[in-house]
Amino acid sequence: MQVFKDIDSIQDFIKQQKQDGRKIGLVPTMGALHNGHLSLVKKSLAETDVTIASIFVNPIQFNNPSDLEKYPRTLENDRALLESIGCHSIFHPEPSIIYPNPPQLKFDFGDLDKILEGQFRPGHFSGVGIVVAKLLNIIQPHVAYFGQKDYQQFLIIRRLVNDLNFPVRLVCSEIVREPSGLAMSSRNQRLSPEERKAASALFRALQLARENLAKKDWVEIKNEVETTLIQIGLRLEYLELADRKSLAVVQKYNGDVPLILLIAGYVGQIRLIDNLFV
């Protein structure tokens, strides 16, 4: 497996692969890989001929400097994991390669980047949009793989790709969970064993909310969930029911259109997100 650190060398590699008629799959990640990331890589390996995993902790999508500083970086382990499942190559550039000049460009995705994650992480989705646009332009994959875990991010990327006519097919892949139900996340590495146990309450809250949707008023469900989470020591940032296509928040459940439940909360210092289709 080859590790490319600069743009010219990965582009030479891809040019050769395309000349040989191979289909390219890209899995963008920030490293500290777990089985969620690996499920995307496996999907790409099954559906394309050459899979590239990018590992880049994108500074401009962090709205909290300490979160960026403490973000786990485990390159050697990531490399071994990717190699063990047969990934073909890694693109692992330094920040100065991706941002030779301080980035001035900003994206505005309308309503989609002001709600939910966007409300609590201003500027986050602009940073995500810029790095994904750069990766898609550098690699020019046929297919790019993303996780449902970051569902709002997937919708943002879909809008970016549609609005700017990027010639790529996008895949949104289901959430991989720990046996406790906790959605796998690189940030889970920073949880203590007790916090990790408590964190699984986020998924249980989503399940409980979904079970109660047809029985109780949505406001009542939200209040109950919040009280339960506080008792476990979690701080709820949001729990919302939203339209699955637009992410417009819904105040009343009616079984007509596909919906999604989205949750964000703090376990100690660590902010976690999760979601569940309704």
The catalytic site residues sit at: 37
Q: Which residues bind ligand AMP (CB under 6 A)?
A: 29-30, 36-37, 39-40, 146-147, 149-150, 173, 175-176, 183-186
Q: In whole angstroms, give the CA distance from residue 51 to residue 38.
A: 12
Q: What is the DSSP letter of 175?
A: P
**CB closer to ligand AMP out of 88 and 148:** 148
Least Å from the CB of residue 175 to ligand AMP: 4
Strands (E), the chain: 2-4, 24-29, 50-55, 89-91, 143-147, 169-173, 234-243, 259-267, 270-277
CB contact at 8 A, 177 and 34: no
Q: In whole angstroms, give the CA distance from residue 228 to residue 234.
A: 9
Least Å from the CB of residue 232 to ligand AMP: 21
Q: In whole angstroms, give the CA distance from residue 29 to residue 128.
A: 11
**CB closer to ligand AMP out of 123 and 224:** 123
The bridge status of strand 259-267 relative to strand 234-243 is antiparallel
Least Å from the CB of residue 19 to ligand AMP: 29
**CB closer to ligand AMP out of 175 and 221:** 175
Least Å from the CB of residue 236 to ligand AMP: 20
Mapped onto helix, strand or coil, the DSSP state of residue 4 is: strand
Both structure tokens of 138: 């550098």
**CB closer to ligand AMP out of 224 and 237:** 237
Count the residues in the chain. Answer: 278
